[in-house]
A and B are shown apart, each in its own frame.
Chain A
């Protein structure tokens, strides 16, 4: 076997991001398999991974993992560069920005549940704004805001609780930090 001309050095951090992104993609697939009464109302299980990554490895890793998840998830589900991809990307960008700010909240008072709810609202808010600006340029888009907001609250709370539970458990990976 000839040695490759280009040599990519894979760091432990790269491997970690890849593994975590894989977990997030798997949860995205589970998400897509759950029937939903309304397009846009989804549990967003992959955000559990984002929350855990944010707490354990920091915001930059969370951005990597989320970005890769959106990309790989859309390729696997076949909506890469379709409107759903941009909605997904916008929602993720908004929630990551929110998480970037919210993680500076005092940890004694605000746990993963707070972060999760805030991120969920940012996610749906960003998606609604993109939908209004680009896909359906009419204020009628906002008629369903109460439904989306309620879903964000419920699923944000549930995902936050699951993330909090996972973060309670000691992890071997956490010591690598």
Chain B
């Protein structure tokens, strides 16, 4: 292959160094850690915490009715909510730490947490 003839020994070294740099910078992409737990809150209080390892369903009571939440390995979502606009349901699966679905009318929220907390608090 004549393209390989254009490379000098040091070039391989620089390429390896560059690849190492890319490898070292990779953890930056997962700064928030991996999704490990789902935190369900009702009226601001923690209603339940679930590990994102197995399948589980929660029925959370609120002022409007019951919000259904599904936990699966590595992801969680709001399945059904009595709220009028269905924002939290339409958000779909949450899988990254810090992601949150808020069903404001029924005062239920579902948040994904990793090992490290990226934010102390969030306000909307």
Q: Which residues of A contact B25 (CB under 8 A)?
A: 145-146, 149
Q: Which of A114, A147, A150, A165 is B8 in contact with, Cβ under 8 Å?
A: A114
How many chain A residues sit at the interface, stated as a range, is 20 to 34
B10 within 8 A of A: yes
A142 within 8 A of B: yes
The B-contacting residues of A in range 40-64, CB under 8 angstroms, are: none
Q: Which residues of B contact A164 (CB under 8 A)?
A: 6-7
- Check B10 against A146 for contact (C-beta < 8 Å): no
- 0/1 string, B1-29, CB within 8 A of A gives 1: 00100111111011100110110011011
What is the CB-to-nearest-CB distance from B16 to chain A, in angstroms, rounded to a whole number? 10
- Check B6 against A153 for contact (C-beta < 8 Å): no
Q: Which of A108, A111, A153 is B7 in contact with, Cβ under 8 Å?
A: A111
- Check A143 against B28 for contact (C-beta < 8 Å): yes
- Check B8 against A117 for contact (C-beta < 8 Å): no
CA distance A156 to B22 in the complex (A): 13
Taking CB as reference atom, which chain A residue is nearest B32? A143
A121 within 8 A of B: yes
Q: Which residues of B contact A145 (CB under 8 A)?
A: 25, 28
B43 within 8 A of A: no
CA distance A121 to B17 in the complex (A): 11
CA distance A118 to B10 in the complex (A): 12
How many chain B residues sit at the interface, stated as a range, is 10 to 19
B31 within 8 A of A: yes
Q: Which of B11, B26, B31 is A110 in contact with, Cβ under 8 Å?
A: B11
Taking CB as reference atom, which chain B residue is nearest A149? B22
Q: Which of B3, B10, B19, B29 is A153 in contact with, Cβ under 8 Å?
A: B19
A113 within 8 A of B: yes
Give the B-binding residues of A (Cβ under 8 A).
Answer: 105-106, 108-114, 117-118, 121, 142-147, 149-150, 152-153, 156-157, 160-161, 164-165, 168
7 closest A-B pairs by beta carbon, nearest first, are A109-B10, A110-B10, A164-B6, A113-B11, A111-B8, A114-B14, A153-B18
Q: A110-B8, A118-B14, A152-B18 are in contact. List 19 more A-B contacts (CB 8 A).
A: A109-B8, A109-B9, A111-B7, A111-B8, A113-B8, A113-B14, A114-B10, A114-B11, A117-B18, A121-B18, A121-B21, A143-B29, A145-B25, A145-B28, A147-B29, A149-B18, A153-B18, A153-B19, A165-B6
